[in-house]
């Protein structure tokens, strides 16, 4: 695996290193030893699949607050997504920085999202699938979010947003004041 730091402290792109032969290819999608060697402590306790039926659907921006903070390893396994992260850690050197990347099933690239960083994505094609693994169990009482369309974040979603849940539409705007 190839680990590339992003502009968000502690977040990494994780690229595959496929071995190919006439049959096709094989690549390691996760290895705790390789993550540790890259300085990323990550012990998976939960794996989640999300299927999005239509292009344009936006999910997020969510994160879990302490004491239930979680890291995520997000990989697109069908279709393609525009994936966005926002650093919501007040003590981080990249607090409130926004960054985005396209993930698609063909390349197999993943995004490692550290605790305290909001995550969301938009399906770029119909029938998109996401697999994400976490190092903490889902704790709904500690989940929070920020609006996907917050002008302070200026995330350039590539398609008109559609089918955004009432919960995701109800997250607060940053409004210039401290959040997170």
Residues annotated catalytic, as ranges:
62, 132
pLDDT band for position 175 (cuts 50, 70, 90): confident
pLDDT of 177 higher than 80:
no
Q: Is residue 175 part of a domain?
A: no
Contacts of 112 (CB under 8 A, 6+ apart): 3, 11, 12, 13, 14, 40, 42, 71, 72, 73, 74
Report, as an integer, the average pLDDT of 122-128. 98
In a domain, 176, yes or no: no
Q: Quick one: three-class SS letters along 50-78?
A: EEECCCCEEEEEEEECCCCCCCEEEEEEE
Element housing 21 (H / E):
strand 19-21
Asked whether residue 85 is assigned to any structural domain, the reply reads: yes
Query: What is the pLDDT at residue 179?
Result: 40
pTM: 0.93
Q: What is the pLDDT of residues 61-96, one digit of tens each?
A: 999 999 999 999 999 999 999 999 999 999 999 999
| Residue 83 belongs to some domain of the structure | yes
Instruction: Give Rg (Cα) of the chain.
Output: 16
Largest CA distance in the chain: 57
Residue 179 lies in a domain: no
Q: Could you give the number of structural domains in the chain?
A: 1
Q: Is residue 178 part of a domain?
A: no
Q: What is the mean pLDDT of residues 48-72?
A: 97
Strands 98-104, 128-134: pairing kind: unpaired
The answer to whether residue 70 sits within a structural domain is: yes
Q: What residue numbers bound the domain in which 118 lies? A: 2-17+27-170
The CA dihedral of 71, 75, 79, 83, to the nearest 10 degrees, is: 40
**Domain-embedded: residue 66:** yes
What pLDDT is recorded for position 69?
A: 96
* Residue 126's CATH number: 2.60.120.10
């Amino acid at each position: 695996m190839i680990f590339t730091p992003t502009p968000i402290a502690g977040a990494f792109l994780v690229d595959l290193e496929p071995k190919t032969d006439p049959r096709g290819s094989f690549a390691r999608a996760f290895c705790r030893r390789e993550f540790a060697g890259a300085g990323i402590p990550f012990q998976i306790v939960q794996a989640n699949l999300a299927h999005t039926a239509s292009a344009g659907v936006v999910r997020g921006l969510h994160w879990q607050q302490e004491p239930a903070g979680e890291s995520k390893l997000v990989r697109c396994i069908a279709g393609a997504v525009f994936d966005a992260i926002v650093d919501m850690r007040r003590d981080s050197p990249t607090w409130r920085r926004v960054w985005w990347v396209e993930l698609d099933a063909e390349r197999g690239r993943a995004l490692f999202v550290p605790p305290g960083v909001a995550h969301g994505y938009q399906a770029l094609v119909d029938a998109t699938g996401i697999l994400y693994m976490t190092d903490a169990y889902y704790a709904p009482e500690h989940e929070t979010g920020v609006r996907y369309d917050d002008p302070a974040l200026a995330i350039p979603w590539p398609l008109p947003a559609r089918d955004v849940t009432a919960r995701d539409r109800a997250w607060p705007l940053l409004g210039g004041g401290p959040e997170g």
